Amino acid sequence: MKSYEVNFDGLVGPTHNYGGLSYGNVASQSNSQQSSNPREAALQGLAKMKALMEMGFQQGVLAPQERPDVAALRRLGFAGSDAQVIERAAKDAMPLLVASCSASSMWVANAATVSPSADTADGRVHFTAANLNCKYHRSIEHPTTSRVLGAMFADQKHFAHHAALPAVAQFGDEGAANHTRFCRDYGQAGVEFFVFGRSAFDTRYPAPQKYPARQTLEASLAVARLHGLSNDGVVYAQQNPSVIDQGVFHNDVIAVGNGEVLFYHEDAFLETDKMLAELQAKLGKCGGNFQSICVPRSQVTVEDAVRSYLFNSQLLSRADGSMLLIVPEECRGNERVWQYLQSLTSSGGLIREVKVFDLKQSMQNGGGPACLRLRVALNQTELAAVNPGVIMTAPLYGTLTQWVDRHYRDRLSENDLADPQLLLECRTALDELTQILKLGAVYPFQIN
Ligand code: SUG
Give the pLDDT confidence of 404-433 residue by residue, as tens digits: 999 999 999 999 999 999 999 999 999 999
| φ, ψ for residue 134, nearest 5 deg | -75, -30
The Cα–Cα gap between 128 and 166 comes to 12
Q: Residue 179: CB within 6 Å of ligand 1?
A: no
CATH number assigned to the domain comprising residue 133: 3.75.10.20
Decide if 126 is inside a domain.
yes
CA 246 to ligand 1 centroid distance, Å: 15
Question: Quick check: is 66 catalytic?
Answer: no
The Cα–Cα gap between 84 and 113 comes to 37
What does the DSSP 8-state code read for residue 67? Answer: S
Residue of 231, 237, 236, 311 lying closest to 271 (CA atoms): 237
When divided into structural domains, the chain yields a total of 1
How many alpha carbons lie under 13 Å from residue 92 in its C-beta half-sphere?
11
pTM listed for this prediction = 0.98
What single letter denotes the amino acid at residue 151? A
Q: Which atom of ligand 1 is nearest to the CA of 177?
A: 10
Q: Which of 371, 382, 407, 426 is catalytic?
A: 371
Decide if 18 is inside a domain.
yes
Q: Which residues, in sequence order, are bridge partners of residue 235?
A: 193
CA 338 to ligand 1 centroid distance, Å: 24
Q: Which atom of ligand 1 is nearest to the CA of 365?
A: 13
Decide if 305 contacts 203 (C-beta within 8 A).
Answer: no
Decide if 7 is inside a domain.
yes
Q: Residue 365: CB within 6 Å of ligand 1?
A: yes
How many alpha carbons lie under 13 Å from residue 44 in its C-beta half-sphere?
25
Decide if 380 is inside a domain.
yes
| Nearest protein Cα to ligand 1, atom 14 | 21
Decide if 97 is inside a domain.
no
Say how many Å lie between the first and final Cα of the chain, rounded: 42
The Cα–Cα gap between 200 and 170 comes to 5
Question: Quick check: is 371 catalytic?
Answer: yes
- Which residues, including other chains, have CB under 8 Å from residue 82's CB and lie 6 or more apart? 70, 420, 423
pLDDT on residue 294 = 98
Mind listing the pLDDT tens digit for each residue in 194-208? Answer: 999 999 999 999 999
Decide if 136 is inside a domain.
yes
CA 430 to ligand 1 centroid distance, Å: 22
Give long-range contacts, CB 8 A cutoff, 24+ apart: 287-291: 287/184, 287/188, 288/182, 288/183, 288/184, 288/190, 288/191, 288/260, 289/184, 289/260, 290/182, 290/260, 290/262, 291/260, 291/261, 291/262, 291/350
> Burial code of 218-255, b = ≥16 C-beta within 10 A, e = fewer?
bbbbbbbebbbbeeebbbebbbbbebbbbbbbbbbbbb
Q: Which of 174, 260, 382, 414 is catalytic?
A: 174
Q: Which of 250, 407, 414, 426 is catalytic?
A: 250
Q: Residue 366: CB within 6 Å of ligand 1?
A: yes
Q: Residue 414: CB within 6 Å of ligand 1?
A: no
pLDDT on residue 448 = 77
| Nearest protein Cα to ligand 1, atom 8 | 371
Question: Quick check: is 183 catalytic?
Answer: no
Q: Which atom of ligand 1 is nearest to the CA of 17?
A: 17
| φ, ψ for residue 30, nearest 5 deg | -80, -15
The Cα–Cα gap between 448 and 435 comes to 18
- Residues of the chain where predicted confidence (pLDDT) is lower than 50: none
- Probe residue for ligand 1, chosen from 16, 251, 363, 365 as the CB with the greatest number of ligand atoms within 8 Å: 365
* Three-state secondary structure call for residue 5: strand
Decide if 10 contacts 62 (C-beta within 8 A).
Answer: yes
**What is the domain extent for residue 402?**
3-67+102-447
Decide if 31 is inside a domain.
yes
- Probe residue for ligand 1, chosen from 105, 174, 179, 250 as the CB with the greatest number of ligand atoms within 8 Å: 250
CA dihedral 151, 155, 158, 164 (to 10 degrees): 40
Q: Which atom of ligand 1 is nearest to the CA of 252?
A: 9
pLDDT on residue 54 = 98
Residue of 414, 371, 314, 322 lying closest to 102 (CA atoms): 414
Decide if 114 contacts 125 (C-beta within 8 A).
Answer: yes
The Cα–Cα gap between 79 and 376 comes to 40
Q: Which atom of ligand 1 is nearest to the CA of 28?
A: 16
| Nearest protein Cα to ligand 1, atom 1 | 22
Decide if 393 is inside a domain.
yes
| Nearest protein Cα to ligand 1, atom 11 | 22
